[in-house]
Structure 1
Amino acid sequence: MLRLCLLFALTLPIPAWAGDPTGPGRVIDGDTLGLATPGGEAIIRLHGIDAPEQAQTCLDATGAARRCGDEAAAALTALIGGAVVTCQPLDMDRHDRIVARCQAAGRDLGAELVGQGMALAYARYSTDYVAAEAQARAAGSGFWSGTVEPPEVYRIAHRSAPTAAPRAPAADCAIKGNISANGRIYHLPGGRHYDRTGIDEAQGERWFCSPAEAEAAGWRAARG
C-alpha cells in the first residue's frame, strides 16, 4: 500500500511555481505580464479576463476604428504604475503561462480592467468578473462606448483566415518585432535567431527601423 501511495504521489502534476510570484511587472499585452522574480521572469496570464489582442481594433461611439489592443495594454501599464505586482497562481495554460489573480497597490488588476471596460470577463473559464463587465457595459465604459469583438472570436477568425504572403520590410526597417510566450522581443539582422524568426502582422508582430523605435513600442532586445 505504501508503495502504491508513493507511486501516486510521484504522478501528481507539479506546479511550475513556488509561492506567489511577486515583483515589478512588465506588460506584454492587455492580459499578460512578465514578473521579474528572484528565480527569473515569470510569464503571467491574468485569471478570468480576456483583453483585445495586440493587433485588434474596435469601433468607438462614432464608428471610427480604435486600436483597442494597444489601449488595453496601456490601461494595464497605468494600473501597475511603479507598484510591485503580487500574483496568486491558480493554473497553467497551454502556453505554459501561469494563470493567476494579481494585485498592484491593493487593486485586483483583472477587476480593474474589466470595470474600466478595457477587458472582457472570460466567462468560459471564470464568472468572477461577469458582474463587473455588466456594470461597465451599462455605463458605456471603455470599449463599451462603441463596439468590441470578443477577443476569443477575433483569435478564431484570424487563425482560420488564409495566410497572406509575408510583407517584405523596407530596406532600412528590417528589425523583427516578434511576440512569443517570453514577451515582445526584437531581433536585429545578423542576430542569432533572426533568420528563423517569422513576422505575422495579423498577430501584432511588426518591423522596426531602429532599436529605439522598438523599445519605445514595448519590445526588448533578444539575448544572444
Structure 2
Amino acid sequence: MKKQVVAAAVVATIVQPAIAADLITNPVPPRREQQAVAPAPIYPVFKGRVAVMDGRTLWYPRYAQRIRLADIDACELPQWALNPKWENRQQTKAPAPVPCGPLAKAWLKRTVGYKSIECTVVGYSQDGTPVARCIASGRDLALEMLRVGWARIESPYPSNRQYLAFQNYAMAARYGMWATYVLDMNEWRRKAVDKTLDRRPIADFNLLAVRESEISPPFVDARKKPKRTDR
C-alpha cells in the first residue's frame, strides 16, 4: 500500500506539456476563387466639341480638360523644320524654314472640324495629362496624323499595328515633316531654350547642326550626295 502511494506521488510530479491558449497555426490558404483580385482601372470617356491646342493635344471646354493623343508625337508649336529643296536665290546656304508645329496643328484642326470627338482615356502621361484614343466620325485622329506625315509614333511598338504601317508609308512618300530636316521632338524639348511662339528659324537651324539623332529621310539623302557637284 505504501509503495502504491509513493508511485502515485512520483507520477504526479512529472511535468506534462501544456498547450498554449493562443497557439498560432499556419492558416489554410484561400482557394483561387476566393483570393482578392485588384479591379481593373476604369478610365473616363470624353465626348463633345474640342479645340485643337497643337498637333497631338485637344481641349474639351465642357470638361475643362486637356487630352493628348495616345502613341504619337508631333512638333511643338514654336518648332521649325528646314526644307532641303530650297531655292538658292540670294546665294545663301540656309534652307527655307518650315513651321512644322503650326502645320501639324492645322491638319489636326482640319480633321476635327466641328465634329463631336470621342476620346477614351487609356492612361496618363508623366505630367498627369490623360492620354486617349480619339475618334472623329469613325476616324482615329492619331492614325490620320501619321497618315499625312505630321506626327510620328512615340515608340517602335505602338498598341495599334496600323500606326507603324501608316508611318512607314508616309516616310516613303515624303509626306509632311518627312520631307524636311526636322529635329526629334524629345531632343528639341531638351535643348530648346526659347520655347515661345516668337522663336526664330535660325535657332532650330543651329540645333539641327549639332543634332544627336536623325529621324527624317532627307538626312539619309544628304549623306548620299557627293561632296562636289561641279563634276
Tell me the TM-score normalised to structure 1 length.
Answer: 0.62
Q: Distance in 2 between matches of 1:130 and 1:153?
A: 21
Aligned with residue 47 of structure 1, among 58, 61, 70: 70
Deviation at 1:85, TM superposition (A): 0.6
What stretches of structure 2 of length at least 5 have no aligned partner?
1-29, 87-94, 199-231
2:187 aligns with 153
Higher share in strand: 1
Conserved 8 A contact 1:57-1:69:
yes
1:58 aligns with 81
Find the residue that maps to 2:65 and give its secondary structure: strand
Deviation at 1:205, TM superposition (A): 5.1
Deviation at 1:155, TM superposition (A): 1.0
Pairwise CA RMSD: 2.5
Moved over 4 A (4+): 12-15
Deviation at 1:111, TM superposition (A): 0.6
Matched, 1:113 2:145: yes
Task: Percent identity, please.
Answer: 30
Code of the aligned partner of 2:195: Q
Q: Distance in 2 between matches of 1:45 and 1:127?
A: 15
Higher share in helix: 2
Tell me how many residue pairs correspond in the alignment.
156
Matched, 1:73 2:105: yes
Map 1:28-43 onto structure 2 (within 5 A).
28-37=53-62, 40-43=63-66
Q: Distance in 2 between matches of 1:42 and 1:102?
A: 14
Tell me the TM-score normalised to structure 2 length.
Answer: 0.60
Conserved 8 A contact 1:87-1:102:
yes
Matched, 1:204 2:196: yes
Find the residue that maps to 2:61 and give its secondary structure: strand
Code of the aligned partner of 1:110: A
2:49 aligns with 24
Find the residue that maps to 2:126 and give its secondary structure: coil
What stretches of structure 1 of length at least 5 have no aligned partner?
162-201, 207-224
2:201 aligns with none
